[in-house]
Structure 1
């Protein structure tokens, strides 16, 4: 029964990811019409992003929110290490370890893709002219895709996979908070000119796909 349920969950979500891949590829191309539409309110007539150094976006969205998520993972790591000594926590060792390591690895995957990406950040792609500005989509200022900051928020999606069988309420809490923080942190970076909307959408896709693959491999460990 467990294998059957696991297969159905994997197939259903694989199909969902497939559909979302096609939507992102065809409807949300990087630097396409939708990206241009949503980036436009945050750029001025000279091609600069007035909110690039905005205190709230830099300190709260970019630093404090990230530090809060990191602090959460530090607590998870400490609890996981403690589980090797505590009998009370021993039963949760796999869940704690999975939550920490898969979350960290998911952000590392995004970071690796970003390091080898030719896509530039929006604030590096505008060139001022006498008539205003133009977009330069060359790859000379790359390494900006997917969205690294958004991955910190989306990494919490790992909790959905960890708890979906043992505690569905906690699982959906992680799903909700992961999506909210991922989009919020990504949107803040978009307002600063650091990323396009498509960068952040692809970040969410990559992290969910990575989680689904590992969950398929370690499903039995999380449900026994």
Structure 2
């Protein structure tokens, strides 16, 4: 009889395969869906008027990202404390794994992005008297996948950390990851920095890496809630 753990992993793998096929077949980078969704943010001169908008360029691209970085630094601090304080010792994998997956996923997206030849939408537009043309072969580079959205999607690790120990907390992190990842990615799309497909692939890669990490280390993750202060008594 298949265990709940094996069933969960099998479901995740099937969903990853299905979503990969959906992305590969229906969300081409610079394809029809990408272009239709980004057109409303382009003016008649082929520019993105919202490119320097404060709420998108500063609030979203800077402050929200910095706030998430602070959350991730807090996880690192929790892990360091768990190594020193006996009361927190049982939480070292909780914090350490969470932080490690955040670093691993965001760094991987950053590396892929740095090696990519895909240009940003704002570098692909060619204004003409007849309208706008797209140079989808442009190689200004470093725009795929969406790096900014990865900061939000990285919270997905929390779902895998707490899916057994605390379902409510697990779903909080999952929902927060999806909302922040898509919102941060969409704001970048409005600025002309990314297509929707860039951010969808960011989410998929982050999800895939979390499934792989969970497959390898789920036996180390908490199976029950650990109170912040525990009285450890010797028999």
TM-score under structure 1 length normalisation:
0.96
Counterparts of 1:52 and 1:139 in 2: how far apart (Å)?
19
1:105-124 equivalences under 5 Å are 105-124=104-123
Query: Are positions 1:46 and 2:32 aligned together?
Result: no
Alignment partner, residue 79 of structure 1: 78
Is the Cα contact below 8 Å between 1:127 and 1:133 reproduced in 2? Answer: yes
Q: Does 1:168 find its partner at 2:163?
A: no
1:171-219 CA-to-partner distances (Å, cap 9, x unmatched) read 0000000000000000000000000001011100000000000100001
Structure 1 counterpart of 2:151: 152
Q: How do 1:23-62 residues align onto structure 2 when only pairs under 5 Å count?
A: 23-62=22-61
State the distance in 1 between where 2:133 and 2:45 align: 9
Q: List per-residue Cα deviations over 1:86-124 (Å, max 9, x = no partner).
A: 112111110100010111110111111111222111001
Runs of 4+ in structure 1 displaced over 6 angstroms?
none
Give the conservation status (yes or no) of the 8 Å contact 1:117–1:142.
yes
State the match for 1:104 in structure 2. 103
CA-CA distance at 1:51 after TM superposition? 0.4
The answer to whether structure 1 residue 142 and structure 2 residue 112 are counterparts is no
Worse overlay, 124-133 or 102-111: 124-133
Cα deviation, residue 85, structure 1: 1.1
Separation of aligned partners in 2, 1:83 and 1:143: 38
Partner of 2:226: none
CA RMSD of aligned residues (A): 1.3
User: Structure 1 CA distance, aligned partners of 2:84 and 2:214?
Assistant: 26
Gap regions ≥5 residues in structure 1: none
Conservation of the 8 A alpha-carbon contact between 1:121 and 1:195:
yes
Name the counterpart of 2:89.
90
SS at match of 1:145: coil
Answer whether contact 1:122 1:194 (CA < 8 A) is retained. yes
Between the aligned partners of 1:218 and 1:5, the Cα distance in structure 2 is: 16
Residue correspondence of structure 1 range 183-194 to structure 2 within 5 A: 183-194=182-193
Bigger Rg, structure 1 or 2: 2
Shift of residue 47, structure 1, vs aligned partner:
1.1
- The corresponding residue for 2:231 is none
The SS at the match of 2:132 is strand
What is the rounded CA distance, in whole Å, between the counterparts of 1:22 and 1:32 in structure 2?
15
Q: In 1, Cα distance between the equivalents of 2:43 and 2:16?
A: 36
SS in 2 for 1:127: strand
Tell me the TM-score normalised to structure 2 length. 0.92
